[in-house]
Amino acid sequence: MGVPLASIETQTIADANNPQLLVVVTDNNGNLGVGETWWGTYQPTSQPGSPVKPIASMIDDVLAPACIGWDGDDISGLGAHLHRLTYQYGPEGVTSAAIAGIDLALWDLQAQIRGVPAAQLLGPRAHDRLPAYASLDWLGNAAAACVDAKRAVDAGFIGVKLHEAEAEIVLAVRKAIGPDIALMVDLSARLDDAEAVTLAESVQRAGVTWLEEPIFPYRAHGRLARLRATIQQRLAAGENEFSVAGIRRLLESGAVDVLQPDIVKFGGLSAANELGRMALEHQVWLCPHNFSLGPSLGANIHWSMTAGAAAWIEVPFLSAGQRFAGSWDMPTLVDGYIHYPTTAGLGWD
């Protein structure tokens, strides 16, 4: 038997562009675990912190009271309890994101108590290190994208991901960073099917590692599968699936070469090993999505080191003069790689 849980509290970091919602779990012995959940949709004209309010309410008003007194060691049992409790709200979306925040905090708590990296609790080590790519912000300007891409390379990254849908910007960045840096392109569901094919053909000579989420809706699996069969580049998707079942449907549709589940959307680390096995079974790269410097990045690092299919770690990289409101540092890169963490809990080196 573990120590009962004493409290579950949310903390909002109300940044206008990159808000964060932290979850702090405390047990009866005063041990703390810190998790994080989804930061919500981008709403720059709303009051800072507004996008996370629905998830915070689900945690504070519905989930937290159900956790008090639960055995802190029984992460899977508590997860099953919370899924059953909230099923009639709908098992995906706000619900799964809220459960994920608590789940990450519990894994951090248990690893902190034992004084070991969370990866050690998740399973056998599959990697000693993994390459990292810098995930740039939406810029919409070739000159700005080139500046940030070159900054990322200078910072030690061996991959750069753009959030652009213009071929001219992609080609300009490739010229700026040279042929040896991996270049990924997140299209953020801004194209229709024909436009996606045209874009893929236009950037063929840029040697793009993958094209990500080209069309809307995000979960148009059949259309994605047809697009994958048409273009030459790898196709990536999965960050907007909110359950293991949804990710399984995505894989079974044959829509992706690169699976990008978002740990703070599909329910947390407790489901991660199953997704890792699914990626191996379907012979796709596992590249978890992340755009936060916080416990969600830590969770991805620890999970990826135990997942045989893991291929890249995504690290957000903001423009010069911008930073996340939290106090986390960038992971240490050694020759462009993040190494297996030695820090207890969900921390990184």
Distance CA 148, CA 143 (A): 9
In the block, residue with structure tokens 């540092």:
329
Q: CATH number of the domain at 120-339, out of 3.50.50.60, 3.20.20.120, 3.90.870.10, 1.10.10.10?
A: 3.20.20.120
pLDDT value for 80: 97
Q: Which CATH superfamily is domain 5-114 in?
A: Enolase-like, N-terminal domain (3.30.390.10)
**What pLDDT score was predicted for residue 309?**
98
**Residue whose tokens read 């890169």:** 333
Rg (CA), the chain: 20
Cα-Cα-Cα-Cα dihedral sign, residues 249, 91, 106, 76? negative
Contact 129, 156 (CB under 8 A): no
- pLDDT given at position 51: 94
Domain residue ranges in the chain: 5-114, 120-339
Residue 52 in tokens: 């996370």
- Residue 205 corresponds to which tokens in the numbers above? 């000579």
pLDDT tens for the chain, 349 residues: list them: 789 999 999 999 998 888 999 999 999 999 999 999 999 998 888 898 999 999 999 999 999 999 999 999 999 999 999 999 999 999 999 999 999 999 999 999 999 999 999 999 999 999 999 999 999 999 999 999 999 999 999 999 999 999 999 999 999 999 999 999 999 999 999 999 999 999 999 999 999 999 999 999 999 999 999 999 999 999 999 999 999 999 999 999 999 999 999 999 999 999 999 999 999 999 999 999 999 999 999 999 999 999 999 999 999 999 999 988 888 899 999 999 999 999 999 999 9
Distance CA 33, CA 7 (A): 11
Interatomic CA distance for residues 313 and 306, integer angstroms: 13
Taking alpha carbons only, the member of 291, 243, 345, 269 closest to residue 101 is 269
pLDDT value of residue 325: 84
Q: What is the pLDDT of residue 186?
A: 98
Three-state SS string across the chain, please?
A: CCCEEEEEEEEEECCCCCCEEEEEEEECCCCEEEEEECCCCCCCCCCCCHHHHHHHHHHHHHHHHHHCCCECCCHHHHHHHHHHHHHHHCCCCHHHHHHHHHHHHHHHHHHHHHCCEHHHHHCCCCCCEEEEEEEECCCCCHHHHHHHHHHHHHCCCCEEEECCCCHHHHHHHHHHHCCCCEEEEECCCCECHHHHHHHHHHCHHHCCCEEECCECCCCCHHHHHHHHHHCCCEEEECCCCCCHHHHHHHHHCCCCCEECCECCCCCCHHHHHHHHHHHHHHCCEECCECCCCCHHHHHHHHHHCCCCCECCEEEEECCCCCCCCCCCCCCCCECCEEECCCCCECCCC
Same fold, 5-114 and 120-339: no
